[in-house]
Amino acid sequence: MVNHEEEQVQNATGHFEYRVEGGGLVTPQYKYVYLEEGPQPIPPIFKGRDTQNSIRETGLTFAFNSYDFWGVNVPVGQGFTVLHWTVGISTEVKSGFITGMINPSDKAGFFKFDLNVDIAGSTRRVEGFFILKQNVTA
């Protein structure tokens, strides 16, 4: 992850929401986007979480392999990874799909997702979307 992420975790504007199967709508208060190309490649990152720091965070982190990612119903692991956080503990998401694209020139991305997430030993469906734009230089 980016060293200074904690300082800029609310550096994105836009909307992020998801629903865990059998639960209510979650709209993470803190949103983060990292889309800075440079000599030391750092993957594009989109994140929504409920806490200001990562110690006890709950939310989702999407990390992409390239800045020109786009697709329809792309399976997890094909050009991106997803981490699900519950009270500071992360679990890599192994199955599901996303649809959307990264717009590197606008430092933005929009995605719809349908994931199968292991939550406390049980697989739960997590559906949602995010439309986020980086609003400060990361």
Indicate whether 7 pLDDT > 60: no
Domain layout of the chain by residue ranges? 5-134
Select the more confidently predicted residue: 68 or 40: 68
Q: Is 58 within 8 Å of 87 (Cβ atoms)? A: yes
Is residue 72 exposed (0-12), middle (13-18) or buried (19+ Cβ within 10 Å)?
A: exposed
Q: Which residues pair with 71 in a beta bridge?
A: 100
What's the pLDDT at 36?
81
Mean pLDDT calculated for residue range 83-99: 93
Q: Is 76 within 8 Å of 103 (Cβ atoms)? A: no
Select the more confidently predicted residue: 23 or 115: 115
> Which class in CATH covers the domain with range 5-134?
mainly beta
Averaged pLDDT of the chain? 88
Order of strands, sheet of 80-86, starting from the edge strand that comes earlier in the sequence: 30-34, 45-49, 59-64, 80-86, 89-92
Q: What is the pLDDT of residues 42-87, one digit of tens each?
A: 889 999 999 877 788 899 999 999 999 999 999 999 999 999 998 8
Q: Is 75 within 8 Å of 102 (Cβ atoms)? A: no
HSE of 34 in the Cβ direction (CA atoms, 13 Å)? 23
The pTM score is 0.88
